[in-house]
Chain A
Amino acid sequence: GAGVSQSPSNKVTEKGKDVELRCDPISGHTALYWYRQSLGQGLEFLIYFQGNSAPDKSGLPSDRFSAERTGGSVSTLTIQRTQQEDSAVYLCASSLGGQGNTGELFFGEGSRLTVL
Chain B
Amino acid sequence: LAKTTQPISMDSYEGQEVNITCSHNNIATNDYITWYQQFPSQGPRFIIQGYKTKVTNEVASLFIPADRKSSTLSLPRVSLSDTAVYYCLVGAMDSSYKLIFGSGTRLLVRP
Contact = CB atoms under 8 A, between A and B. Distances in A.
B29 interface: no
A42 B87 contact: yes
A97 B43 contact: no
Interface stretch (A11-19, A60-68, A104-112): A104-112
Contact of B98 (A48, A98, A105, A108): A48
A103 B46 CA distance: 11
Describe A's contact surface by its main secondary structure: loop
A95 B34 CA distance: 13
Interface stretch (B59-67, B71-79, B99-107): B99-107
Given A103-B93, A103-B94, A104-B49, A45 B99 contact: yes
Given A35-B101, A43-B101, A107 B95 contact: no
A103 B104 CA distance: 19
Among B36, B41, B44, B95, max chain A CB count under 10 A is at B95
A56 interface: yes
Nearest to A43: B101
B44 A45 contact: no
A103 B94 CA distance: 6
Nearest to B103: A42
A60 B2 CA distance: 20
Given A33-B99, A45-B100, A109-B42, 10 more contacts: A42-B85, A42-B101, A43-B101, A50-B96, A97-B95, A98-B96, A102-B93, A105-B99, A109-B41, A110-B41
21 contacts: A33-B99, A42-B85, A42-B87, A42-B104, A43-B104, A45-B98, A45-B101, A93-B43, A97-B96, A101-B93, A102-B49, A102-B95, A103-B91, A103-B95, A103-B99, A105-B34, A105-B44, A105-B89, A107-B44, A109-B41, A109-B42
